[in-house]
Amino acid sequence: MPALQNGWAELAVLAFAFVALQIWWLTAISRRRRLAKPLTEQEFRQVLERIWMQRSPIDRS
C-alpha cells in the first residue's frame, strides 16, 4: 500500500506544477493582449511626454 500512496503523491505534485504553469501562461497572454491594445490620444501624449522628460538635458546652473 505505501507504493500506491507514493504514486499518488507524485501525481499530485505533477498536477500542481501543471496547474501553476497553466495559470502563469494564461496571465502572460492576458498581459500581452493588454499591452497590445491601441492607446488613446491622451495616453499617447502622456507616453511621449514621459519619453521627452527622460531625454531632456539637465539644467546645471
Q: What is the pLDDT of residue 45?
A: 94
**pTM exceeding the 0.75 threshold for the entire prediction:** no
- What does each of the 61 residues of the chain score in pLDDT, given as a tens digit? 565 667 888 899 999 999 999 999 999 999 888 888 888 999 999 989 999 888 766 655 5
Identify the helix (H) or strand (E) that includes residue 4: helix 2-36
Q: What does each C-alpha distance from 55 to 25, 49, 61 come to in angstroms?
A: 35, 10, 18
Q: How far apart are CA 31 and CA 25, in angstroms?
A: 10
Q: What is the pLDDT of residue 59?
A: 56
Q: What is the pLDDT of residue 9?
A: 85
Which residues have a Cβ under 8 Å from the Cβ of 39 and sit 6 or more positions away?
Answer: 47
55: its cell numbers: 531625454
